[in-house]
Structure 1
Amino acid sequence: MRKAWLLACCLAYSSLATAQETAWPSRAAAATAALEAQAPDLARKLLSERADWEPAQRMRLQLAADRYREATESIRAAREQRASTAAPVDAKTLFLQYEIYADAKLRGEPSLLPSLRRGFAALGDREAARALPAFGADLPRARNDLDAALTRQLGKKSIAQADALELVRLFVFHKVYAALLPAMPTLIAEDETRRYEIQRDVVVPGADGASLRGLVVRPKSARDAQPALLGFTIYANGDWSLSDAKAAAAHGYVGVAVYSRGKAGSPGPIAPYEHDGADAAAAIAWIARQPWCDGRVGMYGNSYNSFTQWAAAKHRPPALKAMMTSASTAPGIDVPMQGNVFLNFLYPWPLWTANNATLDGDSYGDQARWQRLDRTWYESGRAYRDLPRIDGTPNPVYSRWLQHPGYDAYWQAMTPQGDEFARIDIPVLAVTGYFDGGRVGVQHYYDEHLRHRPNADHTLLIGPWGHFAMQTGVARFVEGYQVDPSALIDLPELRYQWFDHVFRGAPKPEPLRGRVNYQVMGADAWKHAPSIEAMANERLRLYLQPASGGGEGALAEQAPARDAFSAQNVDFADRSDVDWTSPTESLLDKLDPHGGLVFASAPFAAPVELSGLFSGRLDFTTNKRDMDLTVSLYERMADGRYLLLAWHLGRASYAKDRNRRELLKPGKRQSLDFRSERLVSRRLQAGSRLVIVLALNKQRDMQINYGSGKDVSDETVADAGEPMRLRWYGDSHIDVPLMRAGEAAASIGAAR
């Protein structure tokens, strides 16, 4: 249901509504039920007010107004519109659930099952596998969302158009799925029997005598043994795994899902990350021996399920022939810490995955609990290691992680290191996005693989996508940013196009023409490069010039006097900012640096492309022995809005070596080199400026480094002492990768 809900959200409106008001309700309503009864009247009013609704909007309004034949025509128009985009594969099944509902209503059928049967009988295996996830939903959640929208309207005499469209969307969603869901178990069972051979609760041998559990899906149309595609996962949700495996079978492969040790009925303790590599390698060997497999195995999956691919590759099982990774996590690198800084949003994750043999959704989904924990911990000033005591529930996995603040042997045992990367001689496709929290892990694996095997067949694809784009498809808006049309490619289908290239000799998918394939945000264009370094032909060095008379400093091409400095003071004992949280959007109307220092370049005189990884050197003195630092790079557009391009998060004492801590020397001038691990490509328009925010981490949702030099997890507010005092000297600079066609394209005006 997770995928279905996200998919339904992704099919939201493609254009923004105006601020126009509509008189509604016609009759006063004292309760939500009375107001809901007037939702069809609202839809009819909206239809009468405009004739130029987008097809998706028009379709929902027509369904709400019981105009089913007209809704069917709008669905056809939406499909024609989708077919003309860069991702036309799902055009045939777009809004199929709504079409089936309308068909049943037009025929006067009390149950949707006959219409469902007709609809799915007309689909091929691939189309059916693609469509089915959209036919599941969390109906209680949908009811709550609709009730909340209705409650907000009680007592009002008019409704803003944007609110009206959202209310109609929620009304139609609940109405359609309330009718659909009762018929879906029968439809799914019949469809699976017709298309696939499915083995559930399969016992798969793991490493060291472990017994794992999994499932196997084979296409009924297959006559010979086929390559198998494996998703190895800790997420023991049979619906998710079965959906993925059926999609693989629909494309002519054997779809296999195997769960981590201790999950889905497998005996033994659950230890995220710790056994997956050896267990996945053993599972691959077992799969290759089965009569339905031709001896070749590919792996795929997102996030944790990409980690398991690298974990398996550490053991280099001979039958593993290809890896299709996306949003890859790298334990010890980007989870549960980044730059050696532990992140609170990962604290509930071990409870979700390790509390029971499936998933503890009640615990993980209790956002009020986790927000309360963050706030209580921050206000109390207690040690980070006390989080389980504050929460009142043990979290043994997270507590074990805190015992390893460096990238030590514990973490290194989980993924390839050194020569183990050199032995990975199979094709790898890595997909990530500019808005994907997993792109740090993707970058780590890419860097290490190419460092130890320079001729590795490792292809990188990146665009303006979020963490779940490979699972749910590319969204048109991500973190406030409107995605360019050229970036709307069909990532789920690309998976199988690439596997067909590797296993069946099909042409390589067009987006993968180079080793590094990237969409240039703002240019609506794709580019291809032989390396990340080749994405740019210049590195523009900009020095952090102190502000004169307060305000923001400058990013200047000329270095200021070596002894010039910007002063920064942070009082870690002050918790008056407990309510502050970092923005969830990347496109901002205004910038809140939260005590950070801001440095801005002069405006670019002409458009210029920024592509690659920014880096820099910070020259400073401090009165403390350590600090956690964020360097954020923004574009300030000519209209004053800010777009977060990339950032670097790191603990100063681990800047030279992720594993070996080297404390700072209070009072001594010293330097720190850094490189962002968040790849980006963006066409900056004339008038745009680059902005750097230099901030010490002090917020309730991540570990706080007080600078005492003790293990940061043991520090308390008592270790804060006097405020941290910093001087950032004139040698401090950033290096920004630019691709330019001529001298004028990259020039910026004189520094202020």
Structure 2
Amino acid sequence: MKKIFFIYFIFFSQFVFCQKISLQEFIKTDSSNFKNIAKYLAKEVEVKYKEKDSAAYYDNLFRINLVNEKYDLALYHLNLVRDIYTKRNPALSKEMGSQFEIYINTIKRLNYNKDFDKIYEEEFRKKYKNLSLKSQITFPQYFIYNKIQTKKDIEEIIIKNIKEGSIEIKDAVQLCRKYNTYNIGGKTFDLGTKLIKKLEKEDFIIYDSIKVITKNNEILTLSIILSNKNKTAQNTILINTIYSDTDNIAEAKQYAINGYAAAIVNTRGKYLSPNAIEPFEHESEDINEVIDWIIKQPWSNGKVGMIGGSYLGFSQWAATKQLHPALKTIIPQASVGIGSMDFPMNNNIYSSYFLRWLNYVMNTKMTDYDDFSNLEKWNSIYKKWYESGKPFNKLDSISGKPNTIFQRWLSHPSHDNYWQKMVPYKKEFSKISIPILTTTGYYDTDQLGALYYFREHYKYNKNANHYLIIGPYDHSGAQGNIKSDLKGYNVDQVANIDLDKICIEWFDYVLKNKKKPEFLKNKINYQVMGTNQWKSTNSIHDFDNNKMKFYLENKDNNYILSKSKLSNKSFSSLKVDYKNRSDADELLKLEYDVIEDTIYNKNNLIFSTDAFEKPFELSGNFSGNLKFSMNKKDCDVLMCLYELMPNGKYFLLSTYLGRASYAKNSKKRNLLTPNKKETVSIYNNEFVSKKIEAGSKLVLTVGINKSPYYQINYGTGKDVSEETIADAREPLEIKWYNDSYIEIPILKE
């Protein structure tokens, strides 16, 4: 739920020959001698090291030759790595390794009568000025350095991996990398950080830690970033964030450089605000007060635009609930659909993740990255809860840190007024007339939220000026951090668009009366995976014009997706034992990658079509009706739609997760009658666009959600957050009837 720039220096985890290097000549191989050990190992590793992954191989040789002080050879290997990464991420390929490159170029120019600091600054400026704007913004992250922690890491490698006077090559490589960072980082990273601040002062005026007191005496803190080149009043780009961090200023610089004033407001309770942290609850009110303050400043021309992803995307929709006259446009990216849409619930099912996220933003006045990234810790918490059989509302206690917001959210399992008051609701969308550009992705965890706002806006405002960009992106990609490889899928080259550039062009279009971004052909712009092309249309309903219907048939225990319904009243049976918790580890390892070799086949049935003779384009949301009966009052349905490709691999297209008792109305729970035939309509699942190849099949898993990552719905009809494993009683027995069907949206040429 946050846009994070990952500076990924090729983490060489693919393959290293298992081979050992002897350290018998050293009297001491403890951590007190790590410098000599590292230098010795670097010479040995350079000769003996082998690696299948060429990018990892050259990257490691680059670091090893730095330790060996073979600087020309190190630069040669760095350029080889950059060449490999040019196609994947051109901006990153130019900047990666720069902190070491600057050091090398300084050393090569240095002699006894030259000043190191002076030459280093010259080389630093030369490199910095040749970087793209986006690279300059992320550049400070290359100089983050903790000498004490790096030394501890080296000591840990030595203690754990030097055994019987030898060390494996893979561990020697790790030690050399760490020592290289320790050595060069200790000499130059502080100097580099100071130079970045120096350059920053030359280009920008930055006001940090501004306090704005609201009408109700709440305190909000802002940062303002202005370009030294802009002397007149400017349009303002406002970023509302709960992820308080000094890096936010770096990201905002791109707007100042492009002729805007940039303002970052930290949500109530964050940064220097003494108030309580209550996520999502106050944005609608607080953002309007911030806009009131902005338009009174001498650097403001009275017009404001907003941008940001995830929580930041939600906050823009919150701002439109009571639309300020000065707010002229928003660019919500991967917007959280607060409430039952996608967070903290997915179709009224709470996720375990949301407690982790609450700790992420509530543990401190800043952002607790360390706790959030500790997957081992959080998975152990989920496992402990899952295996204990305790109610979901005990998850925070099991984590060791009770959370009032966690409990508050659990008390609103329906999409009631608590959630409705946070963002526009129903007819309130009709009053939103400003231009809007939404971005999301087929594998964005907040796609459901982003498309909810898009659909509701057009539902209540037929003349909405609202554009959509959607493609093969995950949550980060939908905010501009586009990956070339997405969980096994090699993204079409045409999908690697410069989203940041398009957003600047959008602001110029709305706030500076320039032309609309050329990329936006129609209101909806989508990339068809597997075709290397973008398409566009003007209505979300266009994707519902043509559909293929498939019935869920059981033919002699062979589960098929049939184009015609059989005359007999057959059904497919499924039994799920909620008491069985022996599968915790298996479920915690389960990941839904885009391309998979196999699919999960427990607690579900797998239905398949025949192979298609001709290719076709699947674009839109699959829908349908499930007709079933069961021996309980409720269940949580999980469906996954795949393309089984001719090569035998599964391509994940879309998933549906929803609570049966809320299928008719997310605001009111309607329990089912045991052993009575019921109908659940399938909707609010992920939109996708892909060319289905000839020879492929469509495969649908239909089952019951039972996972440490979500509440467990035992089907008693009680509040699911209060149910325990004692409520499981007999296994769930469910019959999927053969008049159940799904509909697949297809495009007819």
Contact 1:622 1:726 in 2 (8 A): yes
Q: 2:682 aligns with which of 674, 688, 691?
A: 674
Aligned counterpart, 2:574: 568
Task: Write out aligned runs for 1:190-339 (5 A).
Answer: 190-206=198-214, 208-237=216-245, 239-332=246-339, 333-339=341-347
User: CA separation in 2, counterparts of 1:571 and 1:629?
Assistant: 15
Aligned counterpart, 1:734: 742
Q: Letter of the aligned partner of 1:242 in structure 2?
A: I
In structure 2, relative to structure 1, the CA distance for the partners of 1:35 and 1:591 (3 Å cut) is farther
SS where residue 218 of structure 1 aligns? strand
Verify: 1:12 aligned to 2:10, yes or no. yes
Q: 2:105 aligns with which of 103, 106, 124?
A: 103
Q: Letter of the aligned partner of 2:723 in structure 1?
A: E
1:597 Cα deviation (Å)?
Answer: 0.8
User: CA separation in 1, counterparts of 2:286 and 2:742?
Assistant: 43
User: CA separation in 1, counterparts of 2:120 and 2:59?
Assistant: 22
Aligned counterpart, 2:529: 521
Q: How many residues align?
A: 728
User: CA separation in 2, counterparts of 1:498 and 1:143?
Assistant: 47
In structure 2, relative to structure 1, the CA distance for the partners of 1:61 and 1:463 (3 Å cut) is farther
Verify: 1:340 aligned to 2:348, yes or no. yes
In structure 2, relative to structure 1, the CA distance for the partners of 1:718 and 1:529 (3 Å cut) is same
In structure 2, relative to structure 1, the CA distance for the partners of 1:711 and 1:263 (3 Å cut) is same
Aligned counterpart, 1:189: 197
User: CA separation in 1, counterparts of 2:568 and 2:296?
Assistant: 67
Q: Deviations over 1:389-447 (max 9, x none)?
A: 33332210010000000000000010011222111111211111222211111111111
1:735 Cα deviation (Å)?
Answer: 0.8
In structure 2, relative to structure 1, the CA distance for the partners of 1:46 and 1:457 (3 Å cut) is farther
Q: 2:388 aligns with which of 380, 395, 402?
A: 380
For structure 1, which segment, 690-699 or 240-249, has the greater mean C-alpha deviation from structure 2 after superposition? 240-249
Q: Deviations over 1:649-706 (max 9, x none)?
A: 1101110111111111111112111114311112222222111111211111210111
Contact 1:304 1:329 in 2 (8 A): yes
Unaligned runs of 5+ in 2: none
1:631 Cα deviation (Å)?
Answer: 0.9
User: CA separation in 1, counterparts of 2:650 and 2:153?
Assistant: 31
Q: 2:640 aligns with which of 620, 632, 636?
A: 632
Q: Deviations over 1:120-141 (max 9, x none)?
A: 5635893664342442446577
User: CA separation in 2, counterparts of 1:110 and 1:154?
Assistant: 40
Q: Deviations over 1:26-85 (max 9, x none)?
A: 7679779577445644664489999x956x8646523532443355466667777877x6
Q: 1:621 aligns with which of 622, 626, 629?
A: 629
TM-score, normalised to structure 1, is: 0.88
Q: Letter of the aligned partner of 1:322 in structure 2?
A: T
Aligned counterpart, 2:425: 417
Aligned counterpart, 1:68: 71
SS where residue 216 of structure 2 aligns? helix
In structure 2, relative to structure 1, the CA distance for the partners of 1:368 and 1:90 (3 Å cut) is closer
In structure 2, relative to structure 1, the CA distance for the partners of 1:172 and 1:536 (3 Å cut) is farther
Contact 1:433 1:463 in 2 (8 A): yes
Contact 1:59 1:71 in 2 (8 A): no
Q: What RMSD over aligned residues (CA atoms) do the two structures have, in Å? A: 3.3
Contact 2:16 2:51 in 1 (8 A): no
User: CA separation in 1, counterparts of 2:615 and 2:181?
Assistant: 43
SS where residue 531 of structure 2 aligns? coil
Contact 1:219 1:249 in 2 (8 A): yes
Aligned counterpart, 1:693: 701
User: CA separation in 2, counterparts of 1:671 and 1:38?
Assistant: 71
User: CA separation in 1, counterparts of 2:13 and 2:534?
Assistant: 26
Q: Letter of the aligned partner of 1:61 in structure 2?
A: L
Q: 2:670 aligns with which of 662, 666, 683?
A: 662
User: CA separation in 1, counterparts of 2:666 and 2:138?
Assistant: 44
1:226 Cα deviation (Å)?
Answer: 1.0
Q: 1:601 aligns with which of 596, 609, 633?
A: 609
SS where residue 295 of structure 2 aligns? helix
Aligned counterpart, 1:748: none
For structure 1, which segment, 383-392 or 565-574, has the greater mean C-alpha deviation from structure 2 after superposition? 383-392
SS where residue 528 of structure 1 aligns? strand
Q: Letter of the aligned partner of 1:7 in structure 2?
A: F
User: CA separation in 2, counterparts of 1:461 and 1:414?
Assistant: 25
1:198 Cα deviation (Å)?
Answer: 0.7
User: CA separation in 2, counterparts of 1:478 and 1:100?
Assistant: 32
1:363 Cα deviation (Å)?
Answer: 4.3
Aligned counterpart, 2:720: 712
In structure 2, relative to structure 1, the CA distance for the partners of 1:736 and 1:713 (3 Å cut) is same
Aligned counterpart, 1:577: 583
Q: Deviations over 1:160-179 (max 9, x none)?
A: 8xx99988877766666555
Contact 2:58 2:80 in 1 (8 A): no
SS where residue 273 of structure 2 aligns? coil
In structure 2, relative to structure 1, the CA distance for the partners of 1:534 and 1:143 (3 Å cut) is farther
For structure 1, which segment, 35-44 or 514-523, has the greater mean C-alpha deviation from structure 2 after superposition? 35-44
Contact 2:439 2:479 in 1 (8 A): no
Aligned counterpart, 1:539: 547
Q: 1:559 aligns with which of 562, 565, 574?
A: 565
Contact 2:480 2:498 in 1 (8 A): no
SS where residue 132 of structure 1 aligns? helix
User: CA separation in 1, counterparts of 2:93 and 2:483?
Assistant: 15
User: CA separation in 2, counterparts of 1:107 and 1:263?
Assistant: 46
For structure 1, which segment, 723-732 or 405-414, has the greater mean C-alpha deviation from structure 2 after superposition? 723-732
Q: Letter of the aligned partner of 1:672 in structure 2?
A: V
SS where residue 728 of structure 1 aligns? strand
SS where residue 707 of structure 1 aligns? coil
Contact 2:243 2:367 in 1 (8 A): yes
Q: Letter of the aligned partner of 2:581 in structure 1?
A: R
User: CA separation in 2, counterparts of 1:601 and 1:148?
Assistant: 54
Q: Deviations over 1:223-266 (max 9, x none)?
A: 211111111111122x1221122222122211110111111122
Q: Letter of the aligned partner of 1:578 in structure 2?
A: A
In structure 2, relative to structure 1, the CA distance for the partners of 1:158 and 1:206 (3 Å cut) is same
User: CA separation in 1, counterparts of 2:717 and 2:177?
Assistant: 54
User: CA separation in 2, counterparts of 1:521 and 1:371?
Assistant: 33
User: CA separation in 2, counterparts of 1:535 and 1:81?
Assistant: 39
Q: Letter of the aligned partner of 2:575 in structure 1?
A: N
In structure 2, relative to structure 1, the CA distance for the partners of 1:124 and 1:24 (3 Å cut) is closer
Aligned counterpart, 1:447: 455
Q: 1:487 aligns with which of 495, 506, 527?
A: 495
Contact 1:708 1:719 in 2 (8 A): yes
User: CA separation in 1, counterparts of 2:495 and 2:152?
Assistant: 34
User: CA separation in 2, counterparts of 1:152 and 1:737?
Assistant: 55
For structure 1, which segment, 256-265 or 150-159, has the greater mean C-alpha deviation from structure 2 after superposition? 150-159
User: CA separation in 1, counterparts of 2:180 and 2:692?
Assistant: 41
For structure 1, which segment, 524-533 or 102-111, has the greater mean C-alpha deviation from structure 2 after superposition? 102-111
1:483 Cα deviation (Å)?
Answer: 2.0
Contact 2:62 2:75 in 1 (8 A): no
1:627 Cα deviation (Å)?
Answer: 0.7
SS where residue 336 of structure 1 aligns? strand
User: CA separation in 2, counterparts of 1:64 and 1:633?
Assistant: 46
Contact 1:82 1:88 in 2 (8 A): yes
Contact 1:343 1:702 in 2 (8 A): yes
Q: Deviations over 1:566-621 (max 9, x none)?
A: 00111112222222223153322211222211111112223222211111110111
In structure 2, relative to structure 1, the CA distance for the partners of 1:374 and 1:311 (3 Å cut) is same
